[in-house]
Structure 1
């Protein structure tokens, strides 16, 4: 492979994965999984290409774009750039994908430079990204500005630091054995429900969200961008309504995925005040991914996080008996949620660094 010149061009978005021009987008899906595998040994952290394509086609809430780096005819890396579509959004979220075989060729630097140009062209003044890390202690450890957690330096983190990114936060990726004895989940759920009392009750559904829950679900989803611990990562307050819930449900089920929601309703007000989400792809033997878990700030202290997690996990074991593990990410400073995870059997398997660069 010649290293004389790196060329960068837009990632082509096909209408369908069965189209003749879908090869480049399929290569993106393969590269995404390869990078997750090489970085932490967990290729299933990346969604498959069938799951990603619907989100790329619907830019109502997020515009997704990509760039492909080549040396000659060989793909040596890619970068995706997502733009939240809220009126006051000023960040571009990037994902740098460079395989180990192409390390040291300057691919990361070329892609990061190109991302700056793209972000400025879209009127953005902030770049954000995440790096994956194994649970190792090495000679060079990165401590985020929150002071919580630490991750080993990698080729990607070195490139990010060269380009002026700051590690703001560390997130822990944990897994739970779905085939383990459910007794701890059953006991924890019973204790939490007794503690919460009669003012709270659980509701649950499989996507698509029933019409009667769409407004309440939208309201609690909107809180995730402002209530979840995020250090100094700057996130715009997301705008949610019933129509956005419908769009999200469509994306999350378009490729045969199954998506379960358990929420807690505050009985006196009818407000949904906590939720937990689990998703699995069309292959029901694959990894289950926990999407969001949140307790509204004004209802914390009632063990609602334990309720939604345990109730959804117990329900999921019956719905998806062939899935072996569930994977989740939580901020290292989010001790209340990590304590819940640890109490019911989650164990850390990898970490992520959250990075920002102001333009």
Structure 2
């Protein structure tokens, strides 16, 4: 695709970052982190190229692809896309990455049109993306359709709105000081465990998931897109089984990443009904990321969210004592989970806007 002196070509996914064709993928990882830094001053919100590579190479459950924009041979922007592989899937998730140095040059528009055209060719009619925002310190704010949360407009959010995207939801990005006094987490875990009673049993493991737990873990992972608050975002239901859990484990532990899981089993049924995941990259002193956290709808009200969070935080301090912060995202309307976070010491540091458009 060519527009004047702007060219857009597919992003090559290398077999290894040491391969001769890996330069663009390495640049993709660097650009993603640069944009996070420019938007909210938090480059660690984005994984590195080495952390992303395994997911891009394995198309079993999700197809990842991208396009690279160049002017005069220099990379000036990229767009990445992700497609769920279920037969019924209708959504395409994308991320337009244009650094501040190349803003206002029509690059974002060309990349957006490229992403929408690719989605149409693949039979997808729902486009979804997320924007990052610093805490609002102005009366000029955007309000999502859910009515929960406020974010200040940015160049990217203005661009998306001008191209027909609607702000569906606001998510809060919070951080916790892992080196704080653990007493609050120990007391909260003891109180929540006593409240939940003997019908609920705590489980912990590091990935890879033990074979005996994969089927049960698959069942609760499948519920993240159906049970978590998502406003009117049209997320595709996912099909999970033990084999998919095993594939996910391989991707998540690639490039030296460590993942710890805290879960709760409902003893009368043997079902896993709540879980929390913490991940850190090969630099164990780096940012810890909280991945999925969920309590199955029918088991809410038993303080299981507090149990899985506190159990994992306390265990994580022993597994990865070098890491000083854990970062997590939660929908602003998810007050039960935000109440838990706030009680445990999480504080907001940035926000994300969830945008959607039918094409």
Task: Determine the structure 1 residue equivalent to 2:113.
Answer: 113
What is the CA deviation profile of residues 243-273 of structure 1, one whole-angstrom value per residue up to 9, with x for unaligned ones?
0000000001111000000100011111100
**SS at 2:264 equivalent:** strand
- Counterpart Cα distance in 1 of 2:351 and 2:6: 30
> Aligned to 1:20, what secondary structure does the other structure show?
coil
What's the counterpart of residue 280 of structure 1? 280
Report the CA distance between 1:15 and its aligned residue.
1.2
Residue 238 (structure 1) aligned with residue 243 (structure 2): no
Q: C-alpha distance in 2, partners of 1:245/1:111?
A: 33
Please tell me whether residue 321 in structure 1 is matched to residue 321 in structure 2: yes
Partners of 2:155 and 2:139 in 1: CA distance: 14
Match of 2:46 in 1: 46
Deviation at 1:162, TM superposition (A): 1.2
Give, in whole Å, the separation in 1 of the partners of 2:163 and 2:193: 49
The whole-number CA distance in structure 2 between the counterparts of 1:287 and 1:90 is 33
Aligned pairs for 1:260-339 (under 5 A) are 260-339=260-339
The answer for the alignment partner of 1:257 in structure 2 is 257
Q: Which runs of 5+ in 2 are unaligned?
A: none
Structure 1 unaligned regions, length at least 5:
none
Q: What SS does structure 2 have at the residue aligned with 1:21?
A: coil
**Would you say the 8 A contact 1:112–1:163 is kept in 2?**
no
Q: Distance in 1 between matches of 2:4 and 2:237?
A: 44
Give the number of equivalent residue pairs.
Answer: 357
Equivalent position of 1:348 in the other structure: 348
Instruction: Report how far residue 137 of structure 1 moved.
Output: 2.3
Aligned to 1:225: 225
Question: How far did residue 140 of structure 1 move?
Answer: 2.8
1:23 counterpart residue number:
23
SS of residue in 1 equivalent to 2:223 = helix
**8 Å CA contact 1:137, 1:151 repeated in 2:** no
**1:153 corresponds to 2:164:** no
Secondary structure in structure 2 of the residue aligned to 1:302: coil
Between the aligned partners of 2:264 and 2:221, the Cα distance in structure 1 is 13
d(CA) in 1 for partners of 2:162 and 2:139? 19
Following TM superposition, by how much is the alpha carbon of 1:138 offset from its aligned partner in structure 2, in angstroms? 2.7
User: Can you list the C-alpha shifts for 1:81-110, whole angstroms capped at 9, x where unaligned?
Assistant: 100001100000001111011111111111
- What is the Cα deviation at residue 340 of structure 1? 0.2
How far residue 139 of structure 1 moved from its aligned partner, in angstroms, is 4.7
Cα shift at 1:4:
5.5
CA distance in 2, matches of 1:279, 1:168: 28
8 Å Cα contact 2:136/2:150 also seen in 1: no
Name 1:35's counterpart in structure 2. Answer: 35
In the TM superposition, what whole-angstrom CA distance separates every residue of 1:141-172 from its partner, at most 9, and x where no partner exists?
11100000011111110110111000000000
Q: Distance in 2 between matches of 1:40 and 1:4?
A: 32
| Helix, strand or coil at the partner of 1:114 | helix
User: For the residues of structure 2 that align with 1:247 and 1:154, how far apart are their CA atoms?
Assistant: 37
Pairwise CA RMSD:
0.9
User: What TM-score comes out, normalization by structure 2 length?
Assistant: 0.98
Between the aligned partners of 1:210 and 1:302, the Cα distance in structure 2 is: 26
Secondary structure (helix, strand or coil) at the match of 2:283 reads: coil
The CA deviation at 1:72 is 1.5
Could you tell me how far 1:136 is from its partner in structure 2?
2.3
Q: Distance in 1 between matches of 2:130 and 2:273?
A: 28
Structure 2 counterpart SS, 1:141? coil
Superimposed CA distance per residue, residues 97-126 of structure 1 (whole angstroms, 9 cap, x where no aligned partner): 110111111111111111110000111001
Aligned residue for 1:179? 179
SS of equivalent residue, structure 1 residue 28: helix
My pick for the range that moved more, 108-117 or 172-181, is 108-117
Distance of 1:270 and 1:139 partners within structure 2: 50
Name 1:100's counterpart in structure 2: 100
CA–CA distance in structure 1, aligned partners of residues 168 and 144 of structure 2: 5
Contact 1:4 1:71 in 2 (8 A): no
Q: Partner residue of 2:214?
A: 214
